[in-house]
Amino acid sequence: MCGINGILGLADKSIAAKKIAAMNFALRHRGPNDEGTFVDDKIALGHRRLSIIDLSAAGHQPMTSYDGRYQIVYNGELYNFKELKFELQRVVSGSGQQAYLFQTNTDTEVIIASYVRWGADCVNHFNGMFAFAIWDTETKELFIARDRLGIKPLYYCYTEGVFAFSSEMRALLSSELLPKKIDNNSLIDYLRYQTVHAPNTIVKGLKMLMPGHFIEMKNGELRIKNYWSVSKNNSELAKGKTYTEVCKDVNALLTKAVERRLIADVPFGAFLSGGIDSSAIVGLMSKVSTEKVKTFSVTFDESEFSEAKYAQLIAKKFNTDHHEIVLKPADFIEQLPYALKAMDHPSGDGPNTYIVSKATKEAGITMALSGLGGDELFAGYDVFKRALELNRKNWLNALPLFLRRAGGNLLSSTNKTMATEKIAELLKQNKINFNSFYPISRQVLMDNQILQIVNSEQRIANRGELPANRVSEIIKEFQISDFKFQISETSCAEISTYMQNVLLGDADQMSMAHALEVRVPFIDYTLVEYVMGVPDKFKNPTTPKKLLVDSLGDLLPPEIVNRPKMGFTFPWKQWMKNELKSFCESKIHSLAQRNLFNEQGVLKLWKAFLQDNPRVTWSRIWHLVVLENWLQENGVED
């Protein structure tokens, strides 16, 4: 796990060397073990290393191929690198392919060798999480790729003939290759969803490479290609199988995914909340590992938020070396500035991962497994049930639109909660279906709220409208409505929006702030492809994550399976009204002064939160606090 940087197109080597050094410095937290640069004619590559596999100096990057032709910088882990290495060392008779002469035991060199043999198709041979760049010194071509599910980040910009990329936005901002300006449309996306969906970012001109995509850069031409998609790469292996057979397959695939992720030359552990997902990962780790598993969980004095008893139950069952991080408001306030400073891109979530990652690293752990992705894949969120219920209410489309809108307005005026506000908004849509339902279901601020807090210049053509809803665009891009199975349709939406753009982004930036690598077995692509092809009748969550639980057999005790879902969250409401009130208030007032915002509207929203308005919960305010803090920290202007 590391950080990578690159600049293509700067004629002056000395300037390129200074900029790549500045970018490397900005990524120093991601790779405390080593750093390196490669500077040649119009190309500069940089790397910060966190050693996980082959801790020797042989893993130094940028790494050169044995023949000197290729240079690589790489961030991630390739779980099948040993199998690929064996294949790449063989000469296939009649193929004309040469055996690669390996010089190290790293997975980095396996990526180079794979590119030498298969070219851009190498990515289809990889099982892992990765973002890497390979420079061909002969053809002067740059190849950049990101893993299928978007576990590892890759940002880029292309201005005035200079192309630059990095693992983090802050490194690109430090290069001074582009102005630090807010992207207006991305701002609306952020206000709606507490994040900006790839390929856009909050900064104008700064992009993110989409998951499952690669870039080919040659002669100043940038070509982006899609090699894998969660909506299109669904397995047919479950077709015609019984429920028992499907459960057996899921168990085998998940067990193998966990086993793959235990390959490391450093101490490892796991995040344990005591929920089904993290408990399943810990149970399978204990089953396949020869070492005692170390587990970490956050607990609170506020009993309604604490999952301590469930985590303790799992720790005892699997005899783990368990560490509890008891978090008091004073402790959190002390660490909050550091958590916010660690944010590479503003997000409405993240400090929770920062806290547990910090404690995990301080306990001597360099790599940890997480249960992230279980909810998205096995229908763990309420949105799955609501999407299924929507089918049974198709009769609503038979009602005239004016009648539905009237009903929505009445509902909104009589029951003033966020849930009813979303139902009312759905009733006002031209057609009620998944494509209109899902974008509304995930919104943090509704469009009518956003219109009240943004400057009139943020509206299109002075008609009181906002830019197109990015989540609606994503659903259309991935042709989610073409899915055979509705639960898979919802999974695709969750994976392509919330998981990739919020959860994975937060997990990466907050764990890497402590040079901790986080691995996520639930989104091993072989498991994802299989489960996405499983019929709804087997995945219907009549009980919590039924398919996953049944696939695990007796691995988990009933107390964990049947416990109420809490999620891994903090008592934000109480803290924001008490211990964090002055901090939040100062950021809200500062944000309100910005040109892009309507001061009265922003302050009115803050006042509504303080007065316990049910339509303005803590999450509707916190992402505004985070945004202003991030803009200040990074000197980004509106």
Q: Starting at the earlier edge strand, list the strands of the sheet with 268-271.
A: 321-327, 294-300, 268-271, 367-369, 517-519
The neighbouring-strand residues paired with 132 are 74, 145
Could you tell me if 72 and 62 are in contact, meaning their C-beta atoms sit under 8 angstroms apart? yes
Q: Answer positive or negative: Cα dihedral of 359, 362, 364, 369.
A: positive
Could you tell me if 165 and 149 are in contact, meaning their C-beta atoms sit under 8 angstroms apart? no
Nearby residues of 636 by Cβ (< 8 Å), 6 or more positions away? 173, 180, 181, 182, 202, 203, 630
Residue 212 backbone zone (phi > 0: left; psi -120 to 50: alpha; other: beta): left
- Whether 122 sits among the annotated catalytic residues: the reply is no
Both structure tokens of 312: 């303790």
d(CA 558, CA 556): 7
d(CA 113, CA 111): 5
Q: Determine the Cα angle at 79 with ends 75 and 84, to 5°.
A: 105
Query: Distance between terminal CA atoms of the chain?
Result: 34
Both structure tokens of 434: 């998944």
d(CA 29, CA 39): 22
Both structure tokens of 263: 């390959």
Could you tell me if 335 and 251 are in contact, meaning their C-beta atoms sit under 8 angstroms apart? no
d(CA 325, CA 322): 10
Q: Which of 2, 122, 157, 247 is catalytic?
A: 2
Q: What is the DSSP letter of 458?
A: G
Amino acid of residue 238: A
d(CA 51, CA 265): 8
Q: What is the set of active-site residues? A: 2
